[in-house]
Structure 1
């Protein structure tokens, strides 16, 4: 084995963790893969013998790449987007293959990713690296160009927002599916009262149609139930799925994916529904797992 092969083998032992960091930072599997690939390119141009902690070095590089991507996103947007949903990880509702199991293990709930999307890039980096991956503040500080104390404050602000906004789903996946199935059944039957019964009074529904379709936010059980009845025809083509490890559905008609819906079920009721209808991002999703 030559030196380059040995280095590649060492890099592969860190790939899963690096991808997990990048996905939490970017909310996009495709961009996460690009960030990990960039880390490999930088490593291949570096004297690796001088790198004492390869895992820490690679995590720092991925953090820098992701921070640049987040800042570039913000600079490209002429106007703030009202709704921007992360790219979901979708799996079949039943048995999933080992490769996709690894993806699910690396994912976090879509509701949490939605909150992370609202953070400033430096706040998101500090929170993800420290709170999710236990990277010390003195290692994060040079990435964001702050002192360790200021970096700690960034993470603290992010933490407060996450705790105040993120909805924690029920752990029982079977119970989640029962609630989602009840919602779909009530939608198909136009049963307004049954819909309200499975919705949290303060339920929030976000819909992201991409750059060409304005996003929307609907709040409250009454409004969401009315919307569900209005769009009942889409419930007819809903297929059960796991979305970021939680109960969800994929709407497919005529061989085309119309939407991915991620449900957050809390205390036996639906507290959030995040709906991705952006054709560009839907086309990037690997939905062949639904046929497994």
Structure 2
């Protein structure tokens, strides 16, 4: 049966929720878009009149598509060049999904998305559906073809893995700007001590270049190692300008709810550096420089006014 306009409208009414679920499950905006599009194609091919609860049907189809994608993604990431990090989403991106509760905001933070990589596909699915979208375990069990008890067990296991002992701070836009200002002032001071004071003792720095932009394959660990790396990273140099195609404009914003440094060259984002802030200081600096994972951020950046950059680098 050919889909009707009403069928298309019903799907469009669920698109943003589906995209937000898929992004949390996959850590990739482009893959999330593909999964939602495939869900739409299956919705078109189905007899919508026989589907009693369209939202549940769509969520089940999407989640299982994402689970299949996660299984194959694990194999691909074994051959990924360097460290793999999620694709960052800038403030206001609808794919970030609901942010009414602390759990919803936390579930899409760059820190938690990175930790979700440790989970099995089913653990990740249960965690996302329960923590971020408040699905009851009965519905999650139906979506994943599990028992309700198994869903509860997977959720508790996932929560334990994600809780890494660091209480992440709640950061609004004004606080994020102050944190980025302090971080940049310290990073460009030419000294390590100001940075060390901002970092936790066990801070880490990791970057994702995807084999297309130079990035260290192992994380820097410890405040002094991270501070030394950042001091060198922000030091001017002709080779760095040549690498990114010019002198980057540096802006402060939030990405996935965390303070972020955005580097822009001729309107193109060449790097997003997310700062994981805890009560003890900055616990992690995660930098995304893989151009394949910055396309959506660049499109959204181009559509908004961001004012005067904080500084021009290099």
TM range, smaller chain: 0.7 to 0.9
- Corresponding residue for residue 224 of structure 2: 222
1:265 is matched with 277
Alignment of 1:100-115 (within 5 A): 100=92, 102-106=94-98, 108-115=108-115
Q: Identify which range, 25-34 or 205-214, moves more after superposition.
A: 205-214
* Alpha carbons of structure 1 residues 149 and 54: separation in structure 2 relative to 1, 3 Å: same
| CA RMSD across the alignment | 2.7
Rounded to whole Å, the distance in 2 between the matches of 1:126 and 1:46 is 26
Q: Which runs of 5+ in 1 are unaligned?
A: 92-99
Counterpart position of 1:31 = 31
Distance 2:305 2:44 in 1: 39
Query: 5 Å matches for 1:170-209?
Result: 170-209=170-209
Contact 2:20 2:96 in 1 (8 A): no
Following the alignment from structure 2 to structure 1, what is the Cα–Cα distance between the partners of residues 290 and 198?
A: 27
Q: Is the 8 A contact 1:261 1:276 kept in 2?
A: yes
Aligned-pair distance for 1:86?
0.6
**Secondary structure of the structure 2 residue equivalent to 1:90:** coil
- Provide TM-score, normalisation by structure 2: 0.80
Superposed, 1:1-292 pairs within 5 Å as 4-79=4-79, 83-91=83-91, 100=92, 102-106=94-98, 108-141=108-141, 143-164=143-164, 168-211=168-211, 215-233=217-235, 237-253=249-265, 257-267=269-279, 269-285=281-297, 286=299, 287-289=301-303, 291-292=305-306
CA distance in 2, matches of 1:59, 1:87: 22
CA contact (8 A) 1:250 1:259 kept: yes
For residue 30 of structure 1, report the CA deviation from its aligned partner.
1.3
CA gap of 1:251–1:290, structure 2 versus 1, over 3 A, is farther
CA offset digits 1:49-71 (Å, max 9, x no partner): 22121111111111011101101
Specify whether residues 166 and 122 from structure 1 end up closer, same or farther in structure 2 by C-alpha distance, changes over 3 A only: farther
Question: How far apart in 1 are the matches of 2:111 and 2:201?
Answer: 17
Deviates more, 1:229-238 or 1:45-54: 229-238
Q: 1:8-61 CA deviation, whole Å, 9 max, x = no partner? A: 111111111111111110111111111111111111111112212111111111
Cα offsets for 1:141-199 (capped at 9, x unmatched): 35545433223222221111112266523334322321221111121121322111111
Give the paired residue count: 283
Instruction: For residue 117 of structure 1, give the secondary structure of its aligned residue in structure 2.
Output: helix
Query: Normalising by structure 1, what TM-score?
Result: 0.85
List runs of 5+ in structure 2 lacking aligned partners.
Answer: 99-104, 237-246, 307-314
